Structure 1
Amino acid sequence: MGKRGFIVLLLTVFVSSLFYGIEDFCGKIEKEEILNRFPEWQKTVTAYSPDPEIIYGLQTFDIPVNIEIFLGTWCRDSAQHVSEYFKIMNLVDNPYFMTLYTGIPKDKESREPYISGKNIQKIPTFIFFIDGEE
Structure 2
Amino acid sequence: MSLGAQTINKTAYNEPLGRHILIDLCTRDSVANFPDMRERYDAEYSAYLPDSLVLSGLQSRLNDTHITLVMGTWCGDSKSQVPRFFKILDLLGFDEKRLTIICVDGSKKASSGLLNNLDIKRVPTFIIYDDTKKELGRIVETPHVTLEKDLLNLVLEK
What interval of TM-score do these two structures reach, taking the shorter chain for normalisation? 0.7 to 0.9
**Match among 28, 31, 34 for residue 31 of structure 1:** 28
Structure number with greater CO (CA < 8 Å, separation at least 6) is 1
Q: Do structure 1's residue 104 and structure 2's residue 104 form an aligned pair?
A: yes
| Greater Cα radius of gyration, structure 1 or 2 | 1
Instruction: Give me the identity figure in percent.
Output: 24
Provide structure 2 residue ranges, at least 5 long, that are not aligned to the other structure. Answer: 1-17, 136-158
Residue 96 of structure 1 and its aligned partner are, at CA, apart by 8.6
User: What is the one-letter code of the residue matched to 1:111?
Assistant: K
Deviation at 1:43, TM superposition (A): 1.4
Partner of 1:7: none
Aligned residues: 112
Structure 2 equivalent of residue 13 of structure 1 = none
Letter in 2 for 1:64: D
Aligned to 1:66: 66
Find the aligned partners of 2:75 and 2:23 in 1 and give their Cα distance.
12
Structure 1: gaps (5+ residues): 1-18
| TM-score of the superposed pair, with normalisation by structure 1 | 0.74
CA contact (8 A) 2:24 2:110 kept: no
Structure 1 consecutive aligned stretches of length 4 or more whose deviation exceeds 3 Å: 94-97
Question: What is the CA–CA distance in structure 1 between the aligned matches of 2:89 and 2:96, rounded to whole Å?
Answer: 11
3-state SS, counterpart of residue 22 of structure 2: coil
Aligned match of 1:129 = 129
Q: Which residue of 1 aligns with 2:56?
A: 56
Q: Write the distance in 2 (CA, Å) between the matches of 1:79 and 1:44.
A: 8
Contact in 2 for aligned 1:63/1:96 (Cα 8 Å): no
